[in-house]
Amino acid sequence: MRRMHGIRNIVILTGAGISAESGLCTFRADDGLWEDHRVEDVASPAGFRRDPGLVQRFYDERRKNIMAAEPNAAHLALAKLDEAWDGELLIVTQNIDDLNERAGAKRVLHMHGEGLSAWCLACGARHPWTGTLLDGPPCPVCGEVALRPDIVWFGEMPYEMDRIFNAITRADLFVSIGTSGAVYPAAGFVQQAKSARARTLELNLERSQGSAWFDETRLGPASELVPEWVEEMLR
């Protein structure tokens, strides 16, 4: 394949905006609430300690929504790029849905965990999970009732940071799609990409908080911008 602009290694960061057109809600609406909850109540270890039932019910609902959603044109385009691109490529998603995988993408990393996964606080095992956690099912490995959503909450360390940093260090192109740039460390990846001399491109409905760091910003819905960009890359 001809390499556009000498690009071989690509890192793509995605956020809630790429799944918005699949009907999954983004986080930072004007009212500061997430599905009618304060984020710190449902997305922090302290919130979970305070009211585990509320948090389990909340993620039971998210799990149902994820399973009811379908990949949109943006997920399908990334899967096409993943399939065709023979250089390095990593889709780092902050999203907990599995829409990239269901679109067919293979090189996906969930830095904030996965909605369809449960994590046992007793033995550490992680399990694919599509049912409820509210009614306290036992861990399939150790039998303890200690399963929590396998989600990285505020105050917790995102997954696989070493792998992400290594990929960004080698990247020729860093692309950010549908993320507000409000939450670190993901919001800082563009700066790291710049210091690694990668080109940086932002595809978003509106300018993100880190917009000034990008060489190029294209504004619009992901379902239009992402397929257009992928066609350019594969031309």
Catalog residues that contact ligand APR under the rule CB under 6 A. 15-17, 20-21, 26-28, 39, 94, 112, 178-180, 182-183, 204-206, 208, 221-222
Closest residue to ligand APR: CB criterion: 17
Do the beta carbons of residue 39 and residue 27 sit within 8 Å?
yes
Q: Between residues 55 and 139, which has the closer beta carbon with respect to ligand APR?
A: 55
Please report how close the Cβ of residue 17 comes to ligand APR at its closest, in angstroms.
2
Closer residue to ligand APR, CB minimum distance, 40 or 88: 40
Contacts of 166 (CB under 8 A, 6+ apart): none
Output 141 or 182, the one with its CB closest to ligand APR.
182
Let me know if 112 is a catalytic residue: yes
What's the min distance (Å) between Cβ of 69 and ligand APR?
Answer: 13
Residue 93 DSSP SS3: strand
The answer to whether the beta carbons of residues 165 and 192 sit under 8 Å apart is: yes
3-state secondary structure of 189: helix
Closest approach of Cβ 124 to ligand APR, in Å? 22
User: Cis omega (within 30 of 0) on the bond before 185?
Assistant: yes
The nearer residue to ligand APR, 94 or 117, going by C-beta atoms, is 94
Contact between 14 and 178 (Cβ < 8 Å) = yes
Residues 6+ apart with CB under 8 A from 118: 126, 127, 129, 133, 147, 148, 149, 150
Q: How far is the CB of 145 from ligand APR (least distance, A)?
A: 26
* Annotated catalytic residue within 5, 37, 110, 112: 112
Which residues carry out catalysis? Answer: 112
